[in-house]
Structure formats: C-alpha cells, structure tokens
Amino acid sequence: MHAPLLAVILCLVSPAGQAERSPAHAPPEGAVALESGAWVLRVGGEPEAELTEREGPEGPLYRAGRVATDTKLPIGYPAPTPPGAIELKHYPTIRRAEFSSGQATGLMGQRGFWPLFRHITRNEIAMTAPVEMEYADTNDDERIDHWTMAFLYHTPENGPTGEDGEVLIVDTEPKTFLSIGVRGRQGWTGVLSVAERLDEWLAEHPEWRRTGMPRTLGYNGPNVRVADQWWEVQVPVERVSE
C-alpha cells in the first residue's frame, strides 16, 4: 500500500471496457470525454492554478499549484478538480470496497479505515486515490447519521464483488456530480459550507438539479501538510428534463 494515502483516512476501476453512454449521461458540449465513459466540464469558479499531469510509476499523477497527488487513480477515473474550480464530472462504473456506519463520530476516518485497510492488505490490493466519503441522512442538528467510506479498486481485475467481513465490494452505477476543488482538510461543517457554493451555482443553472447529499474525495495522506491536502466536495446532480 502507498503510505502517503494512509493519510486520507486517518485525517478524517476501472470500467470493464468502453462504456455505453445513455442520453442522460452524454457529455455536454465542450466537455472532455474519456474512453471509460467519464467526462469533465469546467463550469465556473476561480482555480488557484490549472491542472498539470505527469506520468508516475503506476499511472498519471496530477498537480495544481500547491496541491498534488502521489498515488495512482483507478483506470478511467476523472482527474482531480483544481482548488477553486467548479466542474461537472461524470464517473463511470468503478469497483470499490465500502464500509458503512450509522454511528456519528468525529473518528469516522479511523472507524472506516481499518476494515478497509485489512481488506486490501489481505487481498493484496494496492491503494489508490482518492478515498471517497459519502454522507447521508443528517438530522435536524446537521449531525451525520449515516456515512460510507470507500477505497477504489484500480481495476475490476483486483478482485470480485461480494462481502468480506464488514466490507462490501460493489460496482458503482455511473453518476454525475457537481464538484469544487478544495485545498485543506474540511470538517463536516466545512463540507456543508463549501456545498453551499455548489448550490449557488445550481440556482443559477436550472438545467441541472441536485439529487442527494454531499460527498468528499481525499487525495492525500498525513505526509502532506493539512493546508496543502487536496480534496473535492461534490453533490450528485442530474439534467432536468425539458
């Protein structure tokens, strides 16, 4: 496992082939489309720096000013969004290992990390970036009542779907998100504050609507100082039928 990525959790896939795009998932005009079926479209924001790419020992690595990745992404996964930029991003099917809990705690990162870490270690699966963290069902106090942490497989060939103790291995459905890049780790209240910027964009673009709770993507581990850790805050969206 890449030690740099341990960071993500303690701080807090690839498609089988060419994806078939339904009309709902077709890339908008101007979007950059990938063979996996993923696409990315810059729609707003003020990026601190633009994205650059270099070839790492196990796949592309990315930088945007002071933030950088040091661990490979799943095959076919869109590149990170630069801090400050707002992008529409469509994700293909990804195989991932999930740990879910209904326990609201400030130690969610550690609570989810260990079962996932044991799973990939036992099955000799290399760590990738990002770590996906999904939140759902907040109560009136905006406390988190349910959350899911996920490690992403580099490719489905890493292992089959199914159960491994507390861990569930699944193939995700293709999905579109509105995303903003963030430099510096965000707590839950910070995630909600950043998500408000995405809601402001949606209010100005009624052709898209939000369909669920925010999620975060974390690209770095504790080897990277907190102020320079690379995150994304995303909300799921869909096109509004005409």
Please state the pTM of the whole predicted model.
Answer: 0.87
Q: Is the predicted pLDDT of residue 39 greater than 90, yes or no?
A: yes
CA distance 79 to 119: 25
- What H or E segment, with its residue span, contains residue 239? strand 230-239
Q: Is the predicted pLDDT of residue 138 greater than 60, yes or no?
A: no
Each domain of the chain, given as residue ranges in start order, spans 3-12+32-92+177-239, 95-171
Q: Mean pLDDT score of the chain, rounded to an integer? A: 87
Alpha helices in the chain, H assignment, sequence order: 3-10, 108-122, 188-204
Q: Which of 120, 48, 118, 86 is nearest to 204 (CA)?
A: 86
Tell me the pLDDT tens digit for each residue of 75-89. 999 999 999 999 999
Residue 119's φ and ψ, nearest 5 degrees, are -60, -50
Tell me the pLDDT tens digit for each residue of 183-198. 998 888 899 999 999 9
**At 55, which amino acid appears?**
E
Q: Which of 165, 157, 156 is nearest to 118 (CA)?
A: 165
